[in-house]
Amino acid sequence: ILAPDEINRLTEPKALTTFRRFDSEGEHEVSEVSMQDNFIIKGNNLLSLYSLLPKYKGKVKLIYIDPPYNTGSDSFGYNDKFNRSTWLTFMRTRLELSKALLSNDGAIYVQLDFHQAHYAKVLLDEVFGEDNFQREIIWRIGWLSGYKTADKNWIRNHDTILFYSKDASQMTFNKY
């Protein structure tokens, strides 16, 4: 649980640093960024979203997030074991900020497994609106063989990606 002064400190403006550009010739340092640049941001996602908001509000075309699956077993350096209501609050804040960043023709993809996908679907319906739900994408993550088949239950071999638009009437889906 965060105290109000901790929340204020988290949401104060921050400076994004250590930009790198990647192209066919490798990695390069960057002295300035433009609106045409695409970003992959490594860091605290709440700080990143608040840092982007002043300059990019309503201008982001695509957001793809891979939030904590809430399994308690992730090796990444963040909390991956919330009670359900805390996880939903954690996600709501980030989804509302993401929506604010999206352009009217923008879209968000949220990748989860079975632990939270159904709860996230209801939350995304609330934040983005049921009419902006585009698809549930099933991403096969493995083949059934070897030790996996020894499990005494059905075997998990997919993740779910929930795809929403900010405004379905303005989104154009280019299927390539």
**pTM attached to this predicted model:** 0.77
Number of other CB atoms surrounding residue 13 within 10 Å: 8
Q: What is the per-residue pLDDT for 121?
A: 97
Residue 141 has pLDDT above 70, yes or no: yes
Q: Are the C-beta atoms of residues 162 and 105 closer than 8 Å to each other?
A: no
**Distance (Å, whole) CA 173 – CA 150:** 41
Which region, left, alpha or beta, applies to residue 18 given φ > 0 means left and ψ of -120 to 50 means alpha? left
> Residue 151: what are its φ and ψ, rounded to 5°?
-60, 145
Given the DSSP bridges, would you call strands 26-29 and 20-23 parallel, antiparallel or unpaired?
antiparallel
Q: pLDDT digit string (tens) for 18-71?
A: 778 888 998 888 777 776 777 777 777 788 888 888 889 999 999 999 877 555
pLDDT tens sequence across 64-97: 998 775 555 544 455 555 677 888 888 999 999 9
- 142-171 pLDDT, tens digit per residue, is 766 666 677 787 777 789 999 999 999 999
pLDDT of residue 155: 76
| pLDDT of 136 strictly over 70 | yes
Give phi and psi for 12, each to the nearest 5: -65, 150
- CA end-to-end distance (rounded Å), the chain: 44
Take residue 133 and report the two structure tokens written for it: 């739900």
What pLDDT score does 154 carry?
77
119 in Cβ contact with 107 (< 8 Å): no
- Does residue 23 sit in helix, strand or coil? strand
Q: Please report the pLDDT score of residue 4 as a whole number.
A: 66
Write the CA distances from 128 to 11, 53, 63, 65, 122, integer angstroms.
22, 18, 13, 15, 10
**Residue 29 DSSP SS3:** strand
From edge to edge, which strands make up the β-sheet containing 133-140? 60-65, 102-112, 158-165, 133-140
> Mean of the pLDDT values across residues 108-114?
93
